[in-house]
Structure 1
C-alpha cells in the first residue's frame, strides 16, 4: 500500500469512493457476460503434429526460455533477453501455445515441458509459466482417473511456487532459510502487484478528471498487432501507463479496464469490460471449431495476469505470430501428406 498511501492519495484521494463503485460496475459487467458459461466445458481444436515436430517445438521453447529469462537460468544478473534480438518472450509464448494445442496426454515431451515450467516459476518467472501449468491441470490432467488427488497436490504446489517465486526473484542475493520463511508467510497475505495495478487504475481516474480523454492508446492497440513495433506493446510510448506516468508516476501495469478510462472516462472502462467479457464468451463458443479461436483461447488462459497487468496490448503481437506459426505447421503437415501420397 506504500505507493498509494505515500504517493497516490494526494492526487486521487478524493476520488476513491467513486473509483470503487466504477470498478464494481466494470467487474460485474464482465462477470455477467461469462456467468452463463461457468459450468460449460471448453475444448480446443487440436493441432495434430508428429512427435518430431512436437520435439522441435519443445526445443524452440527451451531456447526461447533461456534467451527470454537469462537470470532464471543463472546466466546473468539482469532479468530479460540474454541476446538482445527483440522480444523473444513473444516467440516463447507462441511456441508454447502451439505445443499446448498439440498435447492430449502427459507423455515424455509434456513431462519435460512441465519440468521447465516448474523451474521457471520457482525462479520467479511466474506469470505465464504458472498459468501454463494451470492449463495442463485443467485440460490434460483432467483426463486422468485420480484427477482429484492430483488437483489438490498440484494446487498446493502452484500456490507455493507463486508465493516463493516472487521472493526468490526479489531477494536472490541475500537469501537465508529463516528470511525465506518469514517472507513466505508474509507474501501469503500481501502482494505488491495488487497495489501497483490499483494505483494505476486510480491514477486514470485522476487523469480523466483533470486532463480529459486521450486517444493515443488506440494507436498503441493497433500497432501492437505488428510484432516489435516501437509504438505497440506495453513499453510503447502510446501505452496508457506511459501516458499516465507523465502525470502520476507508476510502476507500470493497470487493471484491464484502465486503458478505457484514459480513452473515454468511465464509459470507456465499461466498454473494455464488455469487450473482455464478450471475448471470453466467444472462445467458449468457437475454440472447438476454429484454430484461430483456439489460439486466442489458450492465450487468454495462460496470460490472465499479463492482461490484468498490461491490458489487452500484451495479446495482439503474440497472437499474430502464433497464428502465422500455426498456419506454417499446418502447411508442413499438408506438404508432408501430399509428398507421401505422390511418392507412394
Structure 2
C-alpha cells in the first residue's frame, strides 16, 4: 500500500456513514479508495447500501484535512500499517466482515504461517488464574504460537509476560492510538513487547481509550486468532464479549472451569455450561481440538533415550503404541482404558519427553 493509497483510505474512513464494512465494499467495487472519491454518481449509487446521502458526504473535503494530519503522525512516528488486502494483514481477521480496513502497528510483528491464540480474562486475576495462564503458555511453547491479548491488567498482562519469558511472539491489541498507552502503568513493558512482537490498533492518534473502543478492540482480539481462551471471568465482563464475538466468527473458544462459588469462575463455567466454550484443563485440550502439530523447525531430532522416566499410565500408552504402531487418539483411549482428555494430557507429556510423536489425522506413534 502506497502513501497515496493510505491517504485516500484514511479520508474514506472519515466520511460520515462509512464504516469498515461500507469502506471495503466501496473499495472492492471501485478498485481503490482514490477511485471511490473520483467515481461517477451513477456508479456509486449502483452499489448496494449506497444512497444519495452517502454520495453527498463523499463530497465533504474536510475528510482530506483529517487524513493528512494522521498521515503526518504516521510518517513522523514511523508507524507500520496493514491494509486488509495485503498479505501481512492477519489472515483470519481478513475474513471477518467487520474487520478493520487498516491496522496500525509497532514492533516486530510477523504473522506469516504462525499459530495465533488469544488469551483473555478478568483484570482481577487470582493466583489460580495466573498459575494456569503461565502453565498453559509454557506447555504450548514447543508449538511456537503467537499470544494475542489486550494489554490490560490481570489475565492480559500475565499472558504477555509469560509469552515473552518463553521466547514467544506476543501482540497487544489496543483500544486507542499508538501515541499513548493504557493503562499508563504498563508503559514500562513497551520495550519488551516491541522486541517480542508489538502492538496493533485500528484507532487513530486522536482516539482515547473510551469504553466503546474496548468492545471494538475485542473483535480484533477474537478475529485474528484460531481460538480464544478465557482464563477467568465474573458473570459479566469484557472477556465474555470477546468469547461471544469469537463464536460469531466461528472460532474455537476455550474456558477454564472453576468452583461454582468462585466469583471469577462464574463466567467461564457459564460458557462451558451453555456449550459456548470447550472445557480447558491443559494445553493438550487445545492441541487436540485445533489439531496442532509441532512445526518442523521446532521439532527436536528424534532420539531414543535409554533412561526416560515414564509414569505407569504413560508406560502403558507407550507399550501399546510400540506394539500396535500408529493409532488414533480415540483408539488409544479405548484400549488403554482412559478418558480422551486424560490421554491427550499423557500424550502431550510423552511428546515433550521425546518418546512419542503426533502425526497428521490425530494419529500418534512411539519413537
For the criterion TM > 0.5, the same-fold answer is no
Instruction: Decide which structure has greater helix share.
Output: 1
Q: Which has the larger radius of gyration?
A: 2
With CA pairs under 8 Å and 6+ residues apart, which has the higher RCO, 1 or 2?
1
